[in-house]
């Protein structure tokens, strides 16, 4: 009964965690997408005005254009290509879900952030409840790995192995499993899906896992990939 209860709690926690992220993603998308579209239209108009009058611009006007361009890029708006590219949103559902995950995990790459007042206020409350939920979720994952190590230790003990050796082997198993699951395998996945080298995949996995989150490497940002 205790085992069934534990599994049920784990299942409910996992389901609740992902539902929380899905709801957060939907809200962020609803709050930010319209404002982003307006910002992209403004950037397109700024680009068009520049192309029509660039030979007549003064130094001060050129400086202002550069400032506006830098600000647009910092906000995730890249005024390049034709107008159809402006229909693509940084706040589609997959990006919004990814952003919600970076908020609750405290990674914060900085490549995507809410700009509307509503989005920023929601982000505060979303993180306020989401970060503790994420900690509970990770604690449960750690507990499951620990239980696996205990079962391994019990098996080795029944085979007649000494306790000191069992402790060393279970610790080695725990570390090896963690490195394989959280560093080695994700790096292969990033190498295939993102076109990075394996060392870049290892670097990104570690920066993400440690919640440093520089933002120099972020998944899904290559133009040729979805």
Domain ranges of the chain: 1-55, 58-88
The pLDDT of residue 85 is above 80: no
Tell me the C-alpha to C-alpha distance, in Å, between residue 61 and each of 49, 51, 52, 54, 57: 12, 13, 14, 9, 6
Q: Count other C-beta atoms under 10 Å from residue 159's C-beta.
A: 8
pLDDT given at position 226:
55
Answer with the residue of higher pLDDT: 76 or 219: 219
pLDDT class of 54 with cuts at 50, 70, 90? confident
Whether the CB-CB separation of 187 and 202 falls below 8 Å is answered with yes
- Residue of 107, 129, 147 whose CA lies nearest to 3: 147
Q: What percent of the chain has pLDDT over 90?
A: 46
- Residues 164 and 119: their CA atoms lie apart, in Å, by 53
Answer with the residue of higher pLDDT: 27 or 78: 27
- Residue of 72, 8, 3, 7 whose CA lies nearest to 38: 72
pLDDT given at position 155:
87
pLDDT given at position 164:
86
- Structural tokens at position 161: 């192995």
pLDDT given at position 9:
86
The pLDDT of residue 6 is above 90: no
- Residues 114 and 36: their CA atoms lie apart, in Å, by 10
The pLDDT of residue 186 is above 70: yes
- Residue of 66, 77, 81 whose CA lies nearest to 42: 77
The pLDDT of residue 8 is above 80: yes
Answer with the residue of higher pLDDT: 81 or 124: 124
pLDDT given at position 130:
97
pLDDT given at position 86:
59
């Amino acid at each position: 009964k205790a085992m069934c209860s534990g599994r049920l709690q784990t299942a409910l926690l996992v389901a609740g965690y992902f539902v929380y992220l899905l709801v957060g993603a939907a809200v962020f998308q609803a709050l930010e997408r319209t404002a982003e579209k307006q910002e992209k239209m403004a950037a397109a108009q700024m680009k068009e005005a520049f192309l029509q009058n660039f030979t007549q611009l003064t130094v001060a006007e050129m400086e202002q254009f550069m400032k506006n361009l830098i600000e647009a890029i910092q906000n995730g708006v890249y005024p390049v290509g034709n107008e159809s590219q402006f229909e693509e949103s940084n706040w589609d559902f997959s990006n919004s879900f990814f952003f919600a995950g970076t908020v609750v995990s405290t990674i914060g790459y900085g490549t995507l952030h809410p700009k509307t007042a509503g989005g920023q206020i929601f982000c505060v409350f979303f993180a306020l409840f989401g970060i503790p939920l994420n900690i509970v979720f990770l604690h449960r994952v750690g507990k499951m790995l620990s239980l696996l190590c205990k079962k391994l230790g019990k098996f080795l003990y029944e085979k007649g192995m000494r306790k000191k050796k069992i402790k060393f082997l279970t610790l080695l198993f725990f570390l090896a499993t963690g490195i394989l699951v959280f560093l080695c395998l994700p790096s292969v996945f990033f190498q295939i899906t993102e076109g990075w080298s394996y060392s870049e995949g290892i670097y990104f996995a570690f920066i993400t896992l440690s919640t440093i989150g520089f933002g120099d490497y972020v998944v899904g940002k290559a133009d040729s990939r979805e």
